[in-house]
Chain A
Amino acid sequence: MIRSTLLAATALACGTLAAQAADRTLTISVYGFAQDEFSEILYKPFEEQCGCEVVVETGNSVERLAKMEANREGPVIDMAVLSTHDALAANRAGLIDTIDTSKLSNYDKLYDIAKDPLGDGTAVGYTFYATSIVYRSDKVTVDSWADLFSDELKGQVAFPNVTTNQGPPALWMLGKAMGESDPTLAGAISEVGEKRDDVVTFYVRSSQLVQLMQQEEIWAAPIGRFAWKGFADMDLPIAWATPEEGQTGGMNVMVVTKGSSNRELALEFMDYWLSTPIQTALAEGLVDSPANAEVEVSPEVADNLTYGAETVDSLDLIPADVWLDNREGWLSDWNAKVGQ
């Protein structure tokens, strides 16, 4: 009798625990890269800590925004990561909510530019990257963004397509090198259009560039720092330029879906992601550059990341509203001048 009662009680307890775990399910939508590393470093330890389940959806920003829009009335995603400009698009569409930063114990540890990138408390930066030019140091020297179109590099350059996250920042800096700061990027796009035949390819994936550099198809290309390791590991003299106009880049942010029923859990997860141990582990795994200023890594690891207050402060980023308001115009201007 006692045994059967114990069994029944155990079964009941297990059932209740299972029900609780199932109740606490957090659905996140993130970029598809390095998910094995994210699972080991972030998702699994968080699940153990919160006794909840983290459901991970991956895809590009457009798919993520489309899904958030389609489920506006009954959100299926609790928390998402986006580029700053896509977060602004979500913000303008009324899809994201203000983040209660008092619940983020690690908020004060962030670099200032990551704290409130949209200016209204709806996003928090968790990683960024610098964008500059990689080049064959035995063939050329690159001191300015304008050097991409020098005679030395004629027919030896890959330039990011305007449709990529590196495209507009590269055009932004090329415009600055030409003495322009027009957000339509008209001058820079015209310059690329005129020099179109001198460009080997307008690349879409930076992973493709390593092979092109190895095959000596190209000697230089603007890339994000996250892709640097592939070049650094090559048996060729490759350098990372520090152009006189400075480096540009991008930032990714976390947002909370408006109407999410798991708001508290989403904030708990975001705080965990921003914590010093997790940001350090992600940095050491070369997964993401830290937005947490307390993170300390070895010089070897730092060399592969966008790391340190000085680097972060020096980044000349395109403001999210400029990006969003001009994106369509950049694309049609690019297609008219460069695409044909």
Chain B
Amino acid sequence: MPHRLAAHLPRPAARRLRALLPAALLGAALTAAPGARADEAFVTSQPAEMLSIVDLPTRKVVATLPIPGKPAGIAVSPDGARAFVTSPDGKTLTIIDAAARKVLHRVDVGGGPLGVAVHPSGSPVYVADWYQHRIVAVDAASGAITGEVKVGDSPSGLAVTPDGRLLLSADRDSNQVSLIDTASLKRVATVAVGTRPFGVTIDAAGKRAYTANVVSNDVSVIDIPARKVVATVPVGDHPYVVALAQGRAFSTDQYASTVTVFDVTSFEKLAAIPVGDYPEGIAASRDGTLVYVANWETNTLGVIDAKTLKLLADIPVADGPRAFGAFIRRTGP
């Protein structure tokens, strides 16, 4: 049966085969395995100006999409329907239909759009402007700019609490995190953290946030309701951003070419896992068993077992992967 053959081939081969099949058979091939499509990684490659879409179970790039303007930041909507990509050189936000791999809007946000996060409801999308020290809110459906809020200097990483009430911004050159009330789009607090915080990550309970501090080589752990730092944990040289899985924090250490792992309760360091050179974006699988890391220099997406802390695989992707943000796309329930 042609569709069975296709199902057993690596995806690119299957795609080539499908291209040769009559339309009727193609339909049969696509309907043969309902719900079989698995989660994906949407990896921005800055110098290549490319989005690499990686099928996570097969660990293969199944699609690429050119994105101009040196794409860096990425946020996939919670339902997996949309992806939002920032291009700091192009000064744009690109809104993508994630399943169709199609660009829907290019929004001129000006300045230097870098960090990006989506509200848990799917809209708005928040874009950090690295140069004009503000966060711009963009309507996810229309691409219209609906508001902005001034924050500290060079905001980079953004994250929204799971209840949707607070937006956190790592204000890199002010060594602080800004807390913004999403309903009013007003800043309600700032919390001083380590030196040059770049990425900010919020846990599933919405209680704690973690900033990777590039210059002080540590991670600040923030108690969000208390609005204060409760721990500062040393990690490797030039940490970029943190992912959370299995009660552990995983920081990408750009200069050390490692992922440092520590326990989020005891803050004890568990490992420094050698990965590719210049690791940047990092994110956990939805079930928390795996952690994916984009290695900018090596052009790979590394796969780490979050329990054994072993590097399982390196998936080749387009040149200069950054994947700064929530880059794992849900494809099923």
Is A bound to B?
A: no
Q: Which residues of B contact A (CB under 8 A)?
A: none
